[in-house]
């Protein structure tokens, strides 16, 4: 059974998340329906990251095992044809060794969170960025972000329903960068806890508003207590950018 690696982009707005659920449409479910329409067989689509409801992807990675060999470009084009009208695009497909696992072979995952720091309502970016009307001190945010770099117990920034066995994660990058009215929060790690990025972003916005300092961020991290976290940012601005192997 040949294994195919897929790179996928999607608008997460209409989905309950990547993972198949009974309470609404999922990206995984839509792709599995497309594979079924293409091959006539029900095949599991394994993703590299289980993005939450409303979270987007520019470079999600998945793998599928098919019963027969197809040209990679045919797999890409057929899946794109059958996944319509869902806002999902299969950017590429390639045959890979059966030792490749989209989730477990991943070495690093890269996310970006987009904040629109302006008074005006969002027109083109509605549902694709978080509008924060009050001015943000990006320098203070970036200073506080560096407190979180390295290996820590991230219980404070972990959803209470997170199923990870350990709250310990190593954060490789967390940079806050302004580009005009847009504030991008760029982060990378081998893996993240449930809602970790959105929890960190919400706390950084408190820093940007002067409610917290870098020292307060350190206290929150050291508390190892979910109650010490700032607000959780909405999913609108979060994108899985790429996955390294």
Task: Tell me the C-alpha distance between 66 and 90, whole Å.
Answer: 16
Residue that the structure tokens 């477990």 belong to: 104
H or E element at residue 114: strand 108-116
The answer for residues whose C-beta is within 8 angstroms of residue 243's C-beta and 6 or more apart is 48, 49, 59, 60, 61, 102, 106, 108, 109, 110
The answer for residues whose C-beta is within 8 angstroms of residue 207's C-beta and 6 or more apart is 137, 140, 141, 144, 213, 214, 216, 217
Q: Are 130 and 183 in contact (CB under 8 A)?
A: no
Residue that the structure tokens 């929890």 belong to: 199
Catalytic residue among 11, 33, 52, 172: 52
What stretches of the chain show up as alpha helix (H) in DSSP? Answer: 27-39, 72-83, 138-146, 196-208, 214-223
Parallel/antiparallel/unpaired status of strands 108-116 and 238-244:
antiparallel
The yes-or-no answer on residue 52 being catalytic is: yes
Residue that the structure tokens 């909405």 belong to: 234
Active site positions, annotated: 52
């Amino acid at each position: 059974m040949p294994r195919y690696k897929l790179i996928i982009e999607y608008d997460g707005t209409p989905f309950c998340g990547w993972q198949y659920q009974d309470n609404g449409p999922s990206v995984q479910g839509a792709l599995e329906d497309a594979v079924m329409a293409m091959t006539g067989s029900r095949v599991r689509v394994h993703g590299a990251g289980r993005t939450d409801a409303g979270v987007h992807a520019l470079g999600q990675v998945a793998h599928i095992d098919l019963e027969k060999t197809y040209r990679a470009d045919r797999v890409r084009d057929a899946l794109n044809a059958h996944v319509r009208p869902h806002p999902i695009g299969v950017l590429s497909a390639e045959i890979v060794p059966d030792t490749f696992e989209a989730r477990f072979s991943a070495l690093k995952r890269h996310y970006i969170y987009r904040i629109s720091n302006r008074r005006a309502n969002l027109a083109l970016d509605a549902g694709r960025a978080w509008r924060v009307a009050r001015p943000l001190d990006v320098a203070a945010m970036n200073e506080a972000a560096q407190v979180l770099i390295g290996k820590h117990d991230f219980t404070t920034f972990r959803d209470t329903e997170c199923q990870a066995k350990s709250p310990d994660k190593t954060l490789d990058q967390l940079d806050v960068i302004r580009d005009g009215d847009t504030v991008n929060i760029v982060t990378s790690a081998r893996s993240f806890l449930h809602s970790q990025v959105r929890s960190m972003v919400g706390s950084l916005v408190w820093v940007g508003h002067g409610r917290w300092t870098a020292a307060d961020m350190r206290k929150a991290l050291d508390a190892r207590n979910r109650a010490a976290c700032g607000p959780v940012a909405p999913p609108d601005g979060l994108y899985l950018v790429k996955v390294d192997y």
